[in-house]
Chains A and B, each alone.
Chain A
Amino acid sequence: MAVNYGSKRIVVGAHYGLRDWLSQRVTAALMAVFTALLVAQVLLTKGPIGYDRWAGIFAAQWMKVLTFVVIIALLYHVWVGVRDIWMDYIKSVSARLLLQIVSIVWLVGCTGWAIQVLWRL
């Protein structure tokens, strides 16, 4: 394989090391904990869940902060995963760069929207 590190690094490659692999797992664990806490709150609610109960779950300050952290974790987790997909299947550097830019715009836009929804509760 051709040299792809040092000054010959691929511009649309990943970080050559453990960091992304580890951060994808740490963010995954965070989201799993969040899922468990959310499901627990839904299941422990007595009676049918209407708007008040559902919105009430996210209105608590600790849940708001946790949800905020999870949204940021999701952003990074998805970025690593989607970039892996482009790196595996898209060989052309220009096409890959375009898709990576589109992915970042898509993800940052979605993250902003999600935080806006959360923060005006």
Chain B
Amino acid sequence: MTELETSTIAKRPEFRNINAFKDLPGYRLPLAGVVSILHRISGALMFVLLPFIIWMFDASVSSEISYRRFLNVFEQGFGVFPGWMLKLVALALIWAFLHHLIAGLRHLWMDINHAVSKEFGRNSAAVTLGLSVALTLLLGAKLFGAY
């Protein structure tokens, strides 16, 4: 049986102790894997930018004056950072939140319904990526004043 398998099935490359520079560029990550690593990256991004998120919460709800300062920062900039750059950071956070939320709901759905087939994994990963990017573009257009 083992001999039959080795003779008919093409040998696949094995990845053990992968090297980030040597192995990763040629590594074909499945769509579900892309969603997974982006889930982690988006979470880490929000963790690092937590003070900025809380500052936005603080400034936007505390008083009329702080609310105006909140709006103003994204128009006039803050210190060496121009307004458009802060809008880009906010947009990155919007993407991170949407991706993390949708990928998380996908996880919950899989946990509850035992939806662990290969097809579901791939299709739901495509939906996660498509939906999060589409909503990010929609909100990004609003953020930069397109409508």
Contacts and interface: CB of A to CB of B under 8 A. Distances in A.
Interface in B50-73: 50-51, 54, 57-58, 60-64, 67-68
A107 B40 CA distance: 17
Contact of A114 (B43, B57, B108): B57
Given A54-B61, A58-B61, A85-B44, A29 B67 contact: no
Given A32-B104, A35-B101, A110-B51, A117 B57 contact: yes
Contacts of B111: 25
Interface of B: 40, 43-44, 46-47, 50-51, 54, 57-58, 60-64, 67-68, 101, 104-105, 107-108, 111
Interface string A17-58: 000000001001100100100000000000000110011001
A32 B50 contact: no
A121 interface: yes
Contact of B54 (A32, A58, A81, A110): A110
Contacts of B64: 51
Interface string A81-121: 11001000000000000000001001100100110010011
Contacts of A55: 60-62, 67
A100 to B, nearest CB: 13
A85 B40 contact: yes
